[in-house]
Amino acid sequence: MPDFRGSTGYGSKFNLMDVEDPGGGGLSDVIKVRDYATQFVEKVGIMDYSYGGYMTLLALGESSDKWDFGIAGASVADWVEMYELSDSFFKSFIEILFMGKNLELMKDRSPITYVNNVKAPLCIIHSQNDTRTPLVPVLIHDQELQKGGKTFEFHVIPNLGHAIDDAIDLLLPALIFLKKLFG
């Protein structure tokens, strides 16, 4: 469980390290941890929720040869589309993260840009009523996965927003996915 730059728990300076570089240095941190872990295990996957779900989708597309599976919850699949669908509060957050409405960087750091590179089996879990990370961009991402013949599962959790009320909503589909992959 890497605490990549931008994670909470190490003070405000560390927490802000992904500002102007979302999915850049943080993804490098995750890959370094993955490379270290391969000394001890045969298979390495990536799994997380919200911004970590975004990192999961991005990692599977940008560094597709490094992962044996991925599980992404409440993910950002397309920063540009998400910006258009966001309320004013979250638009402001995205503008801080991307140094304004930097469409070029937003496209470059969007998993949808790299969806055709995905090689590892993927499980995507998303809430039906998530206003923080809207469902529509994830649906479009999934359509592209399907067009490309990628191996993936998509689970929509009904009547749930961004916050996890009960961890079983996220963990059960993830565990079923892992059981199918590894028995």
Q: At what angle do helices 51-62 and 25-37 cross, to 10 degrees?
A: 70
Is 130 among the residues known to form the active site?
Answer: yes
Using CA atoms, how far apart are residues 102 and 150, in angstroms rounded to an integer? 30
Q: Which of 48, 130, 141, 142 is catalytic?
A: 130
Is 65 among the residues known to form the active site?
Answer: no
For the sheet with 152-157, list strands across it.
Answer: 45-49, 69-73, 122-127, 152-157
Exposed/middle/buried for residue 15 (C-beta within 10 Å: 0-12, 13-18, 19+)? middle
Q: Which of 48, 50, 75, 141 is catalytic?
A: 50
> Is the torsion defined by CA of 136, 84, 111, 3 positive or negative?
negative
Candidates 129, 130, 154; CA nearest to 140 is: 154
Tell me the catalytic residues.
Answer: 50, 130, 162
